[in-house]
Amino acid sequence: MMRCFRPRSSKLPDEVDKAAAVGEKRQLVQSQQASRVFNGDGGAGGQQGSKYEITRIMRPDDANIVGNVHGGIILKMIEEAGCIVSTRHCNTQEGDRCLAVLARVEKTEFLSPMFIGEVAHVTADITYTSTHSLEVQVKVVAENILTGAKKLSNKAALWYVPCSLKNVDKIMEVPPIKYASAEQEEEGRKRYDAQKLERLETKARIEEVVPPQPNSEDSPKEQHTVGFSQSSLIHLVGPSDCTLHDYVHGGVTMKLMDEVAGIVAARHCNTNIVTASVDAINFHRKIKKGCVLTVTGRLTFVSNKSMEIEVIVDATSLVEAEKGKYRAVSAFFTFISLDKGNKPLPVPVLKIEGEDEQRRFEEGNARYLQRKAKRMAAQGRPQ
**Active site members:** 64, 258
Q: What is the 3-state secondary structure (H, E, C) of the chain?
A: CCCCCCCCCCCCHHHHHHHHHHHHHHHHHHHHHHHHHHHCCCCHHHCCCCEEEEEEECCHHHECCCCEECHHHHHHHHHHHHHHHHHHHHCCCCCCCEEEEEEEECCEEECCCCECCCEEEEEEEEEEECCCCEEEEEEEEEECCCCCCEEEEEEEEEEEEEEECCCCCCECCCCCCCCCCHHHHHHHHHHHHHHHHHHHHHHCCCCCCCCCCCCCCCCCCCCCEHHHHCEEEEEECCHHHECCCCEECHHHHHHHHHHHHHHHHHHHHCCEEEEEEECCEEECCCCECCEEEEEEEEEEEECCCCEEEEEEEEEEECCCHHHCCEEEEEEEEEEEEECCCCCECCCCCCECCCHHHHHHHHHHHHHHHHHHHHHHHHCCCCC
Of 140, 139, 143, 141, which is closest to residue 118 (Cα–Cα)? 143
Strands 134-143 and 119-129 come out as antiparallel
Are 272 and 216 in contact by the 8 Å Cβ rule? The answer is: no
What whole-number distance in Å separates Cα of residue 313 and Cα of residue 315? 7
Are 202 and 330 in contact by the 8 Å Cβ rule? The answer is: yes
What whole-number distance in Å separates Cα of residue 19 and Cα of residue 304? 60
